Structure 1
Amino acid sequence: MNNDLYAEWLVKRKNGGKELLIEAGLIIIAAIGVLALLLIPTWGFFITVIAIVIAVFGFQALKVEYEYIFVTDELQITPILNQQRRRNKKRVSIEMEKVVVVAPMKGHELDPYTNNNKVKKFDFSSRMPDAKTYGIVTEDRGEKMLYIIEPNDRTLTAMRNAAPRKVRLS
């Protein structure tokens, strides 16, 4: 296998405002469960157990990482929940032959796609404000999609080696 066309990288997503609201809601659910234990002795135990189970699974679902694996002409992005459970149903495979352009998000090359409501956007980055993110624009059967990723240098180099005219490093 040519090592220039293989790379893998793991990015941990930072929770934003929506996730913080969900966390607050989960804490409230757990608190209501504990309160139910005190106020309703007969059913309180069951309500408490259910509330705590919901809170635990909810918190685990909010810890998301993205694994990027680039092999030859394909980038696979797999969400990983709570550092252990892969969500293979949510896996995204991007074939380089369908890629229009790969460029930094801070540049102007992706402006026609970022400001276009007809382009579907998917964010697989850490969501950190200072992150070095790249956009991958694909077109398949007339439908354009923009994938936001945060690759390392090795992944970018492998993508550039696979499709030098499509990948812009700066």
Structure 2
Amino acid sequence: MSVKVLLHQEVHVSYHQIYVESSEATIEGDVNGAFLGQVNGLCGAGIPGTLLMFTGTHTGRIGFTVELHRDRPTLPGVWEDAVEVSFTTDSDGLELVECCGDRYPLDLPDGDYRVRYSARGMTEGHQGGVPQEGQPPWDHYLLQFWPAPPAPDRVTRMTTEHAEYWHKSARAR
């Protein structure tokens, strides 16, 4: 197994947000805590066992894929913005959680991971408004996990002003 797809579908976001949480760790609206001490502003890993991710779309559907890799995957050029954070899970019930919405189970074994959160179409999502019925989402996201020891977060690719805005916001916290 070089890659296992844990989720691949459209999900709903509100307030530009979507989360990864476990039954024992939640964001509970703590945006500042999620990004405390980080240089990236797209994927907050400051609250142990959780991730808070920002999107271009304020409210509506986005494309979202979650993958588990054996080793660090390459970053294809199709992704306009990407960041990496460390993540540790040691509890049951890990889920991708829509802000004020549904929850999707993620079959991720316990352990230490490096996580890459990649985005494309953030600008279009921010400017496009709510996608109409039958219209594809404006923006798409890829969340990749692979085993790795903890390390500082980093911005691996930044090409959009929208991502730059979120990075500056995180550094000001």
Classify the TM-score, shorter chain. under 0.3
Over alpha carbons, which structure has the higher Rg?
1
TM-score by length of 2: 0.26
Q: TM-score, normalised by structure 1?
A: 0.26
Bigger proportion of residues as strand:
2
**Greater RCO, 1 or 2 (C-alpha within 8 Å, sep 6+):** 2
